[in-house]
Amino acid sequence: MRLTGPLRAVAVVLLVGFTWLLANTLFGGESASSVLHFFSGTSEDATPEPHPRKYKCGLSAPCPPKHLAFRLVSGAANVIGPKICLEDKMLVSSVKNNVGRGLNIALVNGVTGELLETKTFDMWAGDVSDLLKFLRPLHEGTLVFVASFDDAATKLNEESRRLFEELGSTAVKDLAFRDSWVFVGAKGIENKSPFEQRMKNSKSSNKYEGWPESLEMDGCIPLRPPLES
């Protein structure tokens, strides 16, 4: 006897139900669930793996309380501008149209984390006296974020290098034509800054023709306690 039409459909439903009940009885709910997945054509592993969570400025882990999250990216050759991100806010970037050849600097209040000023200094054709006037009067506790673009060293003189050394830099004394440089320092820092990278311009190792590769650095900077009056 052959089943046709509605009778065949009823028979299939009864067979599936009986199979599920049998699996549930013999193997428990997990195997029964597998049977249902089999009949429905879906996979138990269909849920995609979640992407790793990113925190402020793209950090892979959150900063501790009373710390500022930052990310610095130096310029790539003379084509792609640098970036300075602080607490998930882009302070300096090509999109904000506030980058320039040379040194790109952001000043931040080291107690509150408030942005004070951003400025660029052309170290190829500019006047180093503009940089000196900018760095000399910094207040105690001011954070200084620096990202290079193209050439950041040609116009640097002895005083300008010394001022960066007083902010915690160890690499600025050797910074040369078209080196890549990222740095975070502070006015009144007692030790050398742990946040600094330099990539030397070298024909044998340059990533771009005439320029080294771009540098990227991130981390967490502790806020300073309020200064005593």
**pLDDT (tens place) for every residue of the chain, 229 residues total:** 454 555 555 555 555 555 545 545 444 544 444 433 433 444 445 566 666 778 999 999 999 999 999 999 999 878 889 999 999 999 999 999 999 999 999 999 999 999 999 999 999 999 999 999 999 999 999 999 999 999 999 999 999 999 999 999 999 999 999 999 999 999 999 999 999 999 988 777 777 777 888 899 999 999 999 866 5
Q: Which helix (H) or strand (E) holds 162?
A: helix 158-166
> pTM for this one?
0.76
Beta bridge partners of 218: 71
| 3-state SS assignment for residue 28 | coil
Say if residues 94 and 208 touch (Cβ distance below 8 Å). Answer: no
Helix axes 128-135, 158-166, angle to 10 degrees: 30
